[in-house]
Amino acid sequence: MSEFDVIVVGAGPAGSSAAIKLASEKMNVLLVDRADPPGSKNISGGVLWGNDLEKIVPNWNKMAPVERYITSKGVGFLTKDSSIDVNIKSRKFLQGVTGYSVLRVKFDQFLAKRAESAGAMLVSGVTVENLAFKDGKVIGVVQEGDTITADTVILAEGANPRVAIDSGARRPIADQDVAIGIKEVVKLPEATINERFGLTSKEGFAGEYALGFLEDGVEAGGFLYTNRESISLGVVINMGHLRADDKTYSFDIMDQFTDHPSIASLIENGKLSEYSAHLVVEGGYNSFPKQYGNGYMIVGDAAGLSFSNGLMIQGMNYAIASGILAAETAIEAKKSSDFSEKSLSRYKEKLMESFVAKDAYNFKGIEEVTWGKLAHKIMPSLMEDVLVNMFLTDGTPKKHLTELIRKAMKENNVKSSDLLMEGYKMIRRM
């Protein structure tokens, strides 16, 4: 007889969602997090998309500490001297559901407390050291020499999942699985943010950027989101590219991003309030690790469930969705008293049926594009040349647009065949 039905390791969105679902179905669940208070080690890009949370916490957006509702989206290509931005602000965003900017320390505490009030036992400030095994099955967790037993363990440790890796539950992380994320929170008065981004107090802006100004083939993306009284902005740096380059410092890329004229003007006179870093799960469908086994399931970032299609980065809603699916699987396993790998394989099936895996599958190979030359180098420099020439008045007659493009392609040493090839890849992936 196990002490708990389920032990959930990690109280981020994935773990807390699993615990909320489990506890609300009267399962005996322990939710344990190494941070105290839970959430105080968690960071994210900052926008929570989608509405899975609604299923387990109805009207969460009215109760949870959210910052702003995203009504304005932007994509920017930053070259050394210029930025080419496409911004969309649409009333349609108000009718559908986009996302909320959140600050994770407060938000994750809210979710963990919800799990506790739903009936889960919440223990924070304790680091689980390992999984406990018996006859090849996970039977609980180990901490300071004690084994705490459970029928099922859900590992929700995030992007740096020590217990999952060290216990052999999942393979170690490789270069292609992750990018290095660096983020800063810059304090600014609410009114200044509203003014700079053309927002009302509850409306928010979320932008993604291709950092085309970086030299030496290091490719990185940037992001910038508005909170109520601060701006979260950061960079996501491809691990493999940085390694191949071996002369660029990750933290310098962050500075180059915040120093770029078009970004610097958005955070001008702001006060840096927090600097943070986090691995960003990048792998996608082609590199999902093993997500379940005998007596355990892995959810959220720890299971490689994150997604980026170049226009949006998503992780938290996949974390929440996978947490709920793992909880459902654990509930079904309890009904049949079968916690074997075969029984828990229902989790993988549920994942594959859900939008989580479908998104990942539909955008399979997107990393080739998002980390490709086209998005980061060719398109930005082409567009820069074309647009700058279009608007520059130097006394010579205006040239036709196609002529400008052809000239820019020549100057940027871009062959039409390459552009076609890269463009085809991009369209196919997106």
Partner 1 sequence: MALELVVITKIVPDGSEVFIDPVNLTLNRSLATNVINPADENALELALQVKARYGGRITVLSMTPPFAIPYLEECVGRGADRAILLSDKAVAGSDTYPTSLAIAAAIKHIGKVDIVFAGEKTSDSSTGHVGPGVAEFLDAELASYVSSVEYDDGYVIATREFEEGTEVVRIPTPAVVTVLTNSNNPRKASLRRKIDAIRQGVIVWDLKEVGLPPDAVGLRNSPTIVKRMIPFPRRDRKGEKITTDNIAKLVDVFEQNKLIKGGE
Partner 2 sequence: MKVEEKLSLLNYKTDPEYAHITIKPPICAVCPDHFCTFACPAKCYTLLNGKLNFKYEDCVECGTCFVACAHGSVTWTNPKGAHGVKYKFG
Which residues of 188-329 form beta strands (DSSP E)? 203-211, 220-226, 230-238, 271-281, 292-293, 296-298, 307-308, 313-314
- d(Cα 142, Cα 150) in Å, to the nearest integer? 11
268 binds, among partner 2, partner 1, none (CB under 5 to 8 A by kind): none
Q: How far is the CB of 143 from partner 2 (least distance, A)?
A: 9
Q: Could you tell me if 132 and 144 are in contact, meaning their C-beta atoms sit under 8 angstroms apart? A: no
Q: Which of 63, 94, 126, 174 binds partner 1 (CB under 8 A)?
A: 126
Phi, psi of 327 (to 5 degrees): -65, -45
DSSP per position, 324-345: HHHHHHHHHHHHTT--SHHHHH
Judged by CB under 8 A, does residue 252 bind partner 1?
Answer: no
Q: Which of 240, 233, 241, 179 is nearest to 214 (CA)?
A: 241
Nearer residue to partner 1 within complex by CB, 132 or 253 = 132
Q: Under rule CB under 8 A, which residues in 39-98 are in contact with partner 1?
A: 40
Region binding partner 1 by CB under 8 A among candidate stretches 47-55, 116-124, 235-243, 257-265: 116-124
How far is it, in rounded angstroms, from Cα 390 to Cα 385? 8
Binding site for partner 2 (CB under 8 A): 34-36, 39-44, 103-108, 124-127, 159-160, 162, 166, 173-175, 177-178, 180-182, 184-185, 230, 232, 239, 242-243, 245-251, 254, 272-279
- Give the span between the Cα atoms of 166 and 168, in whole angstroms: 5
Among 37, 119, 217, 240, binds partner 1 (CB under 8 A): 37
Stretch near partner 1 under the rule CB under 8 A, chosen from 62-70, 93-101, 124-132, 364-372: 124-132
Strands (E), 55-197: 68-78, 83-89, 99-101, 121-124, 130-134, 137-143, 146-155, 178-187
| Nearest to 108, CA basis, from 55, 156, 38, 19 | 38
Exposed/middle/buried for residue 415 (C-beta within 10 Å: 0-12, 13-18, 19+): exposed
Q: Which stretch binds partner 1 (CB under 8 A): 32-40, 277-285, 330-338, 373-381?
A: 32-40
Q: Of these partners, partner 2, partner 1, none, which one is at the site of residue 132 (CB under 5 to 8 Å by kind)?
A: none
141 binds, among partner 1, partner 2, none (CB under 5 to 8 A by kind): partner 1
> What is the smallest separation between the CB atom of 250 and partner 2, expressed in angstroms?
5
The reply to whether 128 sits near partner 1 by the rule CB under 8 A is: yes
Alpha carbons 101 and 48: distance in angstroms, whole number: 6
Judged by beta carbon distances under 5 to 8 A according to partner kind, the member of partner 1, partner 2, none in contact with residue 230 is partner 2
- Residues 134 to 153: which contact partner 1 by CB under 8 A? 141, 143-144, 146, 148
What is the closest distance, in whole angstroms, from the C-beta atom of residue 131 to partner 2 in the complex? 14
Alpha-helix residue ranges (DSSP H) falling in 221-315: 239-245, 250-259, 261-267
Is 90 or 201 the residue whose CB approaches partner 1 more closely? 201
Tokens of 417: 């065949």
> Among partner 2, partner 1, none, what binds residue 387 when CB lies within 5 to 8 Å by partner kind?
none
Residue 275 partner contact from partner 1, partner 2, none using kind-dependent CB cut-offs of 5 to 8 Å: partner 2
Q: Find, among 357, 420, 414, the residue nearest to 380 by Cα.
A: 414
Sign (positive/negative) of CA torsion 366, 226, 187, 157? negative
Q: Does 119 bind partner 1 (CB under 8 A)?
A: no
Cβ atoms of residues 131 and 168 within 8 Å: no
CB of 145 to partner 1, least distance (A): 8
Binding segment (CB under 8 A) for partner 1, from list 117-125, 224-232, 275-283, 337-345: 117-125
- Please, what is the minimum distance in Å from the beta carbon of residue 408 to partner 2? 33
Contact 201/227 with Cβ under 8 angstroms? Answer: no
Please, what is the minimum distance in Å from the beta carbon of residue 4 to partner 1? 9
Least separation in angstroms between residue 187's CB and partner 1 is: 10
Residues that bind partner 1 (CB under 8 A): 3, 30, 32, 37, 40, 121, 123-126, 128, 141, 143-144, 146, 148
